[in-house]
């Protein structure tokens, strides 16, 4: 579980644990990870940063060793950025792509060979993939790039029955937009309940609900 220090990642870790899964936690904020580890009865935890792609790619090997195998990997890392396309500095655009595309792809790339056949590889993209909004060109483009990458991963993984998930979640009340790296979020209607969204996501990981899966088409 990469991104366990965040709101959705923390909820997903708790939900998976509550359903009997044994979970390894990875995240940036070591304080929040430590709290979650305690709450989940001593789950193994490891810090990482999106800019250390080797570190991202090594997470699955670490988790597999800690847990004695891996049934799946879920990545909930991400950061928002807002502003008209011409106003977003290049360094910020680079940051948005590093955190929203390169990091999740590195985590999952490192997991492909380590997840059991029939296991899952999953990441959260967002509804912006289908409906990019004004003032978030780089954030939406980064999520669309990750979605495209997951689509190819799903097709490549069919031979091993790997289940690849691209969770295109709608706006949720996690405070995510208020933690943007640049700019202010547009006026948004009240978001959905994060716990409900995570519950549905975990249902899909467990194969208990119709899924937003890649790998079933040509
Ligand atoms: N909330 C929504 O409305 C919504 C809607 C659609 C999609 N999403 C996606 O859902 C995912 C989780 O969002 P959330 O709502 O749970 O927000 P969040 O609490 O801010 O979670 C973001 C996660 O990304 C991590 N992160 C950010 N920058 C990082 C970096 N440089 N290196 C390593 N980790 C980094 C954060 O780590 P720290 O907390 O430790 O800094 C945190 O674990 C994101 O990918 C977001 O794009 C959210």
Q: What is the DSSP string of 153-188?
A: HHHHGGGGT-EEEEE----BTTSTGGG-SSS-PPP-
Mean pLDDT, to the nearest integer, of 140-155?
Answer: 98
Distance 59 CA to ligand 1 centre (A): 17
What is the atom index within ligand 1 of the atom nearest the CA of 4? 43
Cβ–ligand 1 contact at 37 (below 6 Å):
no
Cβ–ligand 1 contact at 110 (below 6 Å):
no
Distance 108 CA to ligand 1 centre (A): 16
Distances (CA, A) of 208 to 53, 106, 218: 33, 28, 24
CB 107 within 8 A of CB 73: yes
- Per-residue pLDDT tens digits for 20-64: 999 999 999 999 999 999 999 999 999 999 999 999 999 999 999
pLDDT at 215 over 70: no
Mean pLDDT, to the nearest integer, of 137-166?
Answer: 98
Mean pLDDT, to the nearest integer, of 156-160?
Answer: 97
- Per-residue pLDDT tens digits for 61-78: 999 999 999 999 999 999
pLDDT at 214 over 70: no
Cβ-in-10-Å burial (0-12, 13-18, 19+) of 74 comes to buried
What is the atom index within ligand 1 of the atom nearest the CA of 9? 16
Going by CA atoms, what residue is nearest to atom 34 of ligand 1?
A: 28
What's the CATH superfamily of 7-214?
NAD(P)-binding Rossmann-like Domain (3.40.50.720)
Which of the listed residues 1, 2, 5, 6 should we mutate to test ligand 1's pocket, taking the one with most ligand atoms within 8 A of CB? 6
> How far apart (Å, rounded) are the C-alpha atoms in residues 163 and 148?
15
Cβ–ligand 1 contact at 7 (below 6 Å):
yes
- CB neighbour list of residue 170: distance below 8 Å, 6 or more residues apart: 126, 127, 191, 192, 197
The pLDDT value given to residue 217: 47
The band of 207, judged by pLDDT with boundaries at 50, 70 and 90, is confident
The pLDDT value given to residue 163: 97
Delimit the domains of the chain by residue range.
7-214
Mean pLDDT, to the nearest integer, of 150-164?
Answer: 97
Mean pLDDT, to the nearest integer, of 111-118?
Answer: 97
- Per-residue pLDDT tens digits for 178-187: 999 999 999 9
Mean pLDDT, to the nearest integer, of 208-216?
Answer: 55
The pLDDT value given to residue 37: 97
The band of 213, judged by pLDDT with boundaries at 50, 70 and 90, is low
Going by CA atoms, what residue is nearest to atom 46 of ligand 1?
A: 78
Mean pLDDT, to the nearest integer, of 124-141?
Answer: 98
The pLDDT value given to residue 218: 47
């Amino acid at each position: 579980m990469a991104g366990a220090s965040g709101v959705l990642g923390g909820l997903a870790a708790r939900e998976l644990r509550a359903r009997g899964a044994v979970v390894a936690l990875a995240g940036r904020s070591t304080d929040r990870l430590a709290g979650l580890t305690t709450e989940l009865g001593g789950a193994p935890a490891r810090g990482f940063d999106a800019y250390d792609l080797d570190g991202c790619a090594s997470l699955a090997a670490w988790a597999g060793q800690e847990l004695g195998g891996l049934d799946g990997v879920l990545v909930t890392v991400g950061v928002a950025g807002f502003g008209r396309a011409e106003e977003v500095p290049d360094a910020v655009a680079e940051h948005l792509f590093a955190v929203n595309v390169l990091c999740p792809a590195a985590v999952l790339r490192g997991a492909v060979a380590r997840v059991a056949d029939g296991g899952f590889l999953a990441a959260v993209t967002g509804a912006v993939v289908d409906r990019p909004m004004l003032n978030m060109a780089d954030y939406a483009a980064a999520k669309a790039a990750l979605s495209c990458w997951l689509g190819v991963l799903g097709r490549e993984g069919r031979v091993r029955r790997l289940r690849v998930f691209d969770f295109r979640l709608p706006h949720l009340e996690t405070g995510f937009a208020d933690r943007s790296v640049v700019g202010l979020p547009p006026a948004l209607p009240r978001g959905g309940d994060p716990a409900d969204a995570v519950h549905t996501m975990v249902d899909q990981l467990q194969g208990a609900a119709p899924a937003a899966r890649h790998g079933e088409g040509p």
